Structure 1
Amino acid sequence: MATYDYRSSERKSADQRIPPRFSRENEALCSSAKTVASPFTDEILNAPNPKKFYMPVFILFDGTTHPIDHIYHIRLKMALNTNDDYLMCKCSPTSLDGPAFNWFKNLTQGSIAGFQDLCDKFISQYYGNKRPAKDVSSLFTTKQHEDERLQAFLTRFNLVKSMVMECHPSTAVQALKLAMNRGTTFHTSLVVDTPKTMDELNERADGFVHLEEEEVANAWKTSIISTEEKSKTKIR
């Protein structure tokens, strides 16, 4: 008994409704897409993709940020699924945007044979975006603002510290003590019992951050209650 393919019939009827001009343009676009030169070698382009693979969502690189940071970001995202070299090559261009994507399109056809080749060309192109490394003195010039809360200050201090190439933990602790506002409970704690490692420092800082946040929340609640009491007094 013959079966009737409804889906095939629907596709045919839909194709019949497409004007001839649009059909010709679509065929031309598909044909030109197949002839677009790729910087990747045939081995990369023809390599089979894993059956179970989910394309990660990358932070887009537009040519203005640090190239090494972006490569590190790609490696971390891809490591969640696979470390296949050819697949990393195929996925990486989806993280490029604007001028950076135009740079990739203009690479010589077949000039990239692996992910390391792509990384080398990418870093060479955007090496000028590299952030200059800071020395230890930048830590000692970082100061906590008068009304700056502990969490915000620690975030800013650790950002500067991350850009220092080599910094001994004891040096970072001493710089933090000098950078903090005098008289705070956390500063007093550091003076009385100075941590010996950054892990110990961060663990203690977390406790004082939670304490400060709780004090701020209690002060806010007290202010609200005081305002409500004043309003009730005026009404009476």
Structure 2
Amino acid sequence: MYNGRTDPVEHISHFNQRMAVHSKNEALTYKVFLSSLGLVAMRLFDGVGAGSIDSFKELTRAFRSHFITCSRVPRPLDSLLFMSMQERETLKMYSDRYWEMFNEINRDFDDMALRTFKVSLPAKHDLRKSLTKKPVRSMRRLMDRIEKYKQVEEDQQQEKGKAKVIP
């Protein structure tokens, strides 16, 4: 249900995915789309005169233009360049923050992400040393390497916790 505050393009995209099997039936798609609108959005179309919108494409265009101020603005690529791992931040915390930012960039910049992730780690970090000695060439391989180092970090933290408990 569209509430009038979220990205209209995302709503249309999600709606189209759900309605893919019915995409040939434009009348049904039109009616179901209207039923996916909350009260705020419905008011917009209540005032539209009969026959003023001739197609589902026109309907979604009107919807997008009316709720344009709710559109999500993608972050610029250089947002990744200003990220760095903070003191006392775990690799898990940093990588979660990094990938959240990366996913907000609406372009294919995997190569840049591979480089910026590495250089934003502290120079003495074991993962950075590993990525320098043996660079990865794909996002999947980077994610796999990060997972290995996160596990090592977690194991080390557990060992420290055990060492403190033993008298």
Give the TM-score normalised by the residue count of structure 2: 0.78
Which residue number in structure 1 is paired with residue 114 of structure 2? 173
The answer to whether structure 1 residue 131 and structure 2 residue 72 are counterparts is yes
Distance of 1:200 and 1:209 partners within structure 2: 14
Which residue number in structure 2 is paired with residue 31 of structure 1? none
Task: Specify whether residues 181 and 165 from structure 1 end up closer, same or farther in structure 2 by C-alpha distance, changes over 3 A only.
Answer: same
Distance of 2:85 and 2:37 partners within structure 1: 38
The answer to whether structure 1 residue 147 and structure 2 residue 88 are counterparts is yes
Task: Specify whether residues 92 and 192 from structure 1 end up closer, same or farther in structure 2 by C-alpha distance, changes over 3 A only.
Answer: same
Aligned residue identity for 2:138:
T
Task: Specify whether residues 115 and 211 from structure 1 end up closer, same or farther in structure 2 by C-alpha distance, changes over 3 A only.
Answer: farther
Return the match for 1:113 from 37, 49, 54.
54
Larger-gyration structure (1/2): 1
- RMSD after superposition: 2.8
* 8 Å CA contact retained: 1:143, 1:180: yes
Kindly report which structure 2 residues correspond to 1:1-236, keeping only aligned pairs within 5 A, or say none: 60-79=1-20, 82-83=22-23, 84-166=25-107, 168-216=109-157, 222=162, 226=165
Deviation, 1:123, is: 0.9
Distance of 1:139 and 1:164 partners within structure 2: 9
Aligned residue identity for 2:134:
D
* 8 Å CA contact retained: 1:146, 1:181: no
Aligned residue identity for 1:147:
R
Q: Which has the higher contact order (CA 8 A, sep 6+)?
A: 2
Q: Secondary structure at the match of 1:194?
A: coil
Deviation, 1:213, is: 4.2
Give the TM-score normalised by the residue count of structure 1: 0.58
Distance of 1:198 and 1:113 partners within structure 2: 44
Aligned residue identity for 2:121:
M
Task: Specify whether residues 91 and 195 from structure 1 end up closer, same or farther in structure 2 by C-alpha distance, changes over 3 A only.
Answer: same
Task: Specify whether residues 103 and 213 from structure 1 end up closer, same or farther in structure 2 by C-alpha distance, changes over 3 A only.
Answer: farther
Task: Specify whether residues 204 and 102 from structure 1 end up closer, same or farther in structure 2 by C-alpha distance, changes over 3 A only.
Answer: same
* 8 Å CA contact retained: 2:119, 2:128: no
